[in-house]
Amino acid sequence: MSRDKGKARQIDGEDEGEGSGRPAHIDPSEDMEVDTGPFQFRPLQLASLVDPKSLKALEELGGVQGLMRGLGTGEKGLSAKGAREVDHGGGHGKGAGKGSSQRHERSPGDGAQRHADPPDIHTLPPLIKVTSSGSGEEDLNSIQGDDDKGHTDEDDEESSSEDPDEWGPAYRADLEDRKRIYGPNVLPQRASKSLLKLMWLALKDKVLILLSIAAIVSLALGLFQDFGTPRPDDEPPVDWVEGVAICVAILIVVLVGSINDWQKERQFKALNEKKEERGVKVIRSGAERVIDVHEVVVGDICLLEPGEIAPCDGVFLSGHNVKCDESGATGESDAIKKVPYDECIAMRDRQGHEPNHTDCFVVSGSKVLEGVGTYVVIAVGQRSFNGRIMMALRGDSENTPLQLKLNDLAELIAKLGSVAGLVLFTALMIRFFVQLGTNNPSRTPSAKGIAFVQILIISVTLVVVAVPEGLPLAVTLALAFATQRMTSEKLLVRVLGSCETMANASVVCTDKTGTLTQNVMTVVAGSVGIHAKFVRQLEENQARTNADEELEGAAPKKRRHADDFSIDQAELPGVLSPPVVELFNEAIAINSTAFEDDDPDSGAKIFIGSKTETALLQFAKELGWPHYAQVRSDAEIVQMIPFSSDRKAMGVVVRLPNGVHRLYLKGASEILTRMCGDHVVVYQHGTEDSRDTVEKLDIDELKRENIDRTIIFYANQTLRTIALCYRDFESWPPADARQVSEDEVEYEDIAEDMTLIGIVGIEDPLREGVRTAVADCHRAGVTVKMCTGDNVLTARSIAIQCGIYTKGGIIMEGPIFRKLSKEERVDVVPRLQVLARSSPEDKKVLVESLRELGEVVGVTGDGTNDGPALKTADVGFSMGIAGTEVAKEASDIILMDDNFASIVKAIMWGRCVNDAVRKFLQFQISANITAVLITLISAVASSSESSVLSAVQLLWINIIMDTFAALALATDPASPVLLDRKPEAKTAPLFTVDMYKQIFVQSAYQTTITLIFHFLGLRILGLSSSSHNDKVVQTLVFNIFVFAQIFNSVNSRRLDNKLNVFEGVTRNFYFIGITVLEVAVQVLIVFVGGAAFQVTRVGGREWGISIALGFVALLVGSLARLIPNGPVEKLFIKLRLLPDPNVLPTKSPQAEAETWNRAIELVRDNLGTFAKIRGGRMRGSSFVGKSRSARMEQGHIVPSLLTMVPTLVASSVGAGWMPQSGSLSDPAHNDPSRSTAALWEGKIQIHPDTPADDPFVKKWNARAARGQQ
């Protein structure tokens, strides 16, 4: 095909804006018509090899050789122009497909170069060339000289003539051809919104639209009244100010909100760009080169090294012991070993299925734990696994619950304000026509026109007064203030509305690895020799030692092993003798491939390699033992024994200075301990002998039982147990061992008669503060659910440690969960606390199910696999340090310190925002009702159609009610007290009973005193009727109304029935400052406002009355709080001011849907469920474990493996069987290597404290029973 035709086709989504991303799954049929140019494969055809991983699909493409041929690449990679370098000696990369190993000689500067970001290509030291003969045997040639010397493109062309079959069009394609067809390794730029567009979007708010209309009408009428009608000489033309003031308020709201969003978007964009800056090692022109990550193309040969993050999808070619951590991409916590394609095929044919935890696919976003190797790139950019998920997450956000409620409130206020304005206009017009008919008073035609305009103005003014102009400003200010303070507390809010959404969060679904835990394996317990049991932070973790285990059946109680003792892990250097410390440290340092390097992000020293080895090295480092690098450099290694899944161990043989050869082994404890005949001895307080030599004792039957019980004890806590042991040989090779080579012998011949050094228990520990954070969530009424790809035992253990798994809770596995029907999910989801072995889709379905049930869901996660669930949730939290780009892109809030405990702060600030808005509403609505009533009544009662308050006075009052009140009430800081209440449902009303009480009582009080002084002011003050005295009364009324608002703003600081309205006021300097400013400005207005405000100076009596009546507003508020809520709530329900809690909602809680709630339909369709369980027949469920053995029911035996998991299976509860936790039955006769996780596969676990008569237990127990019939 012509190149021009190919160029005409753009990469899917390249020019797409926000919300048009691709789905995360692969559908190869989508690019059937893509012009592949000189290549044999379509883009999505290659991408589908990895998602899902398909060895069969790769086989159909001709394996690795067919793939390389179709992409026009080879072992030596592409040249600078993109053409494949020809192998002169080995042909077409066959070795890559036959499991050839490859080593890379690294210069000292390689580490620094790996993390650089050079735009140009830099040549690194040449690699060892790998070829294979025709028979498939591996052959490592010597290191070549400088590959680039004398190497030109002409040389390539000359070489190609010797092998014309391997020099087709695909091999001649340049880099631009590859980018054009397969795309660049860059995601399309997300169309960022300009400041003007953000302002326009903010202006679309319903309240702002209503305000804009009111502002235009008010400004037009004000200008007409000021300049189109005659005015008295003592009245300045200031009626236009009202409309201008509303326009200014709108401008402030729009600017504050849009600038805030614009800054947040710029900050996040800069964060992403900085995160993406890195260099990648590739092989081009036969040499290693560091290029920019965005320059990688399909067909490139990339290098894998420990600590590297795979930038693209690919197929593994060759290497040595490469293991990848794909937990961030797929949720799989176990390391995945990478082997060449041919080895995968051989393993599949041998085992009958594709191998577990082993494959030949490299997933973008995964991390290399250990080993070195190469892979060919098959998908980049938005077609890679990582890129597709990133594109799928792009979408428009939906309205938050508060925004929906405020929109409804705006519509209601608009209707009520319009009705009030229409009523006033109608009443005044009726009187106007009556006056026209009676000609009383007598008016000229001009005066009649002016009177009509006055009626129109006062009616529109009433509508303007009714509209809460400060409402959007209060919301914006509260959110801006909260997000600013949250940023200082390590919470970066990406979506402004998510802050207030967290106030109503009722469920938090969290990942385990990297979120609840540190994603760093750590030694937390163990034993040195047999009897010295050490525990990390022993005082806080007494349950992690079995040194005090009692002998069953003994009276009085005796310890099973009297010689056992417990010590804190930090005390090991003081308890162990120097020879034992040296032995232990060498067993860790020498027998390991992990190493220490600089973290590219933080610059701190970290260990890189397998999680087990890094945990052991960190353990030795924390104890202050000699540095591993020095120990390794001093050791003379004779033979390396790499880890094998068959033997589950790895070892090393070293030659000691005294000529003795020592074998160090580490591996699965249940296997290696069987090979040990004796053990090192450690004394609790040490002895002279133990300090000089390594003392050893034989392992007898009792000690063997001790070892087995210790392994089981650690396994019960889901610790990964590793045994370390050694054996000394007087000569090497040993005389009775079979030799593999000159210095290497068969493993089976030397791995016996070992000496046990110790057993260590390793786990991924909880993050600091997680337990407290979970407890705070429960205190706040927020349920925490854990979703993880780990097995059920590990998940259960972490859930218990965190406090997630509680009474009534359920643990379920992903394969079971995804088989549940919709009806069963509605039943299970509310009780589900742990979802183990879950896929990203399971997590997403869980979130969707919770939202359908009306829950407000927050999701935390740090991996790519968390992306879909993060986007589906109401609020998504990602980790700023360990989080992947996918997780950050999908999230609404980024936890900059990766601390799950920050969730609690987010909930506090969310509730603070919601409370701030409600405080403002409580204040504003009462002021608005008062303003509307006094305007309506005074205008109707006035013969001149004038209101009790002038337009300029209303302007100042509106500023108090709106801008100042918003600033004062929206800036209260968050407090832990906010966690002492339950979250509100999405359908909860915006106004509570307490708010209604305050609004109506305050409105009644303010309206009454204002109208009393308006109509009876002269009589109360004992003044005669005159122009000056009328001004005094009008000033007094104005003063009374203003001070009532000022004191009511203090009263509105509380939303509950507690009387102390001053609580925490000293922490809000904004409130104090604004209150002082309001009083000062009011005094200035009265003293110097004069004609502009239509006021006059008043004496001390009037000031005293104004302040006293304003202060009474506090007393009135206290009286309102003393009114019982029950009767008031019933009244408001009858008046339909509050929803009836006994009536099911008819609208979906989903923000965008006005449809029937699916959860309610399920309840409606299954009202007979309980009747069916009691009397009818129901299909049995395979999801409930069955334990109906008579011996088990009668308690004659307790299986030891069951007691390792103190939990209940639903069916067992119904059968009356309860496991006896805390005891082990004859563990010496059980194989400690047996997996207890398999025991619970396919079962629903119910917390052991759940009562047997719990409805859920009965229901699922009945299903299990019927399933057995």
Instruction: Judge residue 1158's burial from the number of C-beta atoms within 10 Å of its C-beta, 0-12 exposed, 13-18 middle, 19 or more buried.
Output: middle
Decide: 443 and 470 in contact? Cβ < 8 Å: no
- Helices 195-203 and 241-276: crossing angle in degrees, nearest 10, is 130
Residue 251 CA to its chain's centroid (Å):
35
Number of H helices, E strands in the chain: 48, 33
- Helices 993-1021 and 1100-1122: crossing angle in degrees, nearest 10, is 150
Whether residue 1127 has a cis bond before it, omega within 30° of 0: no
Closest Cα to residue 774, out of 882, 907, 900? 900
Count how many residues are written for the chain.
1269
d(CA 887, CA 892): 10
Phi, psi of 1201 (to 5 degrees): -70, -30
Decide: 748 and 797 in contact? Cβ < 8 Å: no
Q: How far lies 593's CA from each of 140, 609, 650, 759, in Å?
A: 22, 7, 10, 20
DSSP state of 1238: G
d(CA 1069, CA 972): 9
- Helices 241-276 and 206-227: crossing angle in degrees, nearest 10, is 150
461-471 residues labelled b (16+ CB within 10 A) or e (exposed): bbbbbbbbbbb
Q: How far lies 1208's CA from each of 809, 1160, 1189, 1242, in Å?
A: 11, 31, 15, 14
**DSSP labels, 351-386:** HSSPPTTEESEE-TT-EEEEEEEEEEEEE-GGGSHH
Helix, strand or coil for residue 1151?
coil
Decide: 860 and 877 in contact? Cβ < 8 Å: yes
Closest Cα to residue 1161, out of 1145, 1150, 1173? 1145
Closest Cα to residue 81, out of 52, 121, 53, 119? 121
Q: Which two tokens stand for residue 336?
A: 């995945």
Closest Cα to residue 292, out of 300, 280, 308? 280
Helix, strand or coil for residue 95?
helix
Decide: 335 and 78 in contact? Cβ < 8 Å: no
**DSSP labels, 1193-1218:** HTTS---HHHHTS--EEHHHHHTT--
Place of tokens 């317990």: 525
The residue from 511, 708, 898, 915 that is catalytic is 511
Residues with Cβ within 8 Å of 756's Cβ and at least 6 positions away in sequence, in order, are: 529, 530, 672, 673, 676, 678, 679, 680, 699, 707, 723, 724, 725
Long-range contacts of 989-992 (CB under 8 A, 24+ apart): 989/405, 989/1138, 989/1139, 990/402, 990/405, 990/406, 990/408, 990/409, 990/918, 990/921, 991/918, 991/921, 991/1137, 991/1138, 992/918, 992/1055
d(CA 244, CA 251): 10
Strands (E), 475-545: 491-493, 507-511, 522-528, 532-535
165 labelled catalytic: no
DSSP state of 559: B
Decide: 67 and 376 in contact? Cβ < 8 Å: yes
Residue 117 CA to its chain's centroid (Å):
29
Catalytic residues: 511
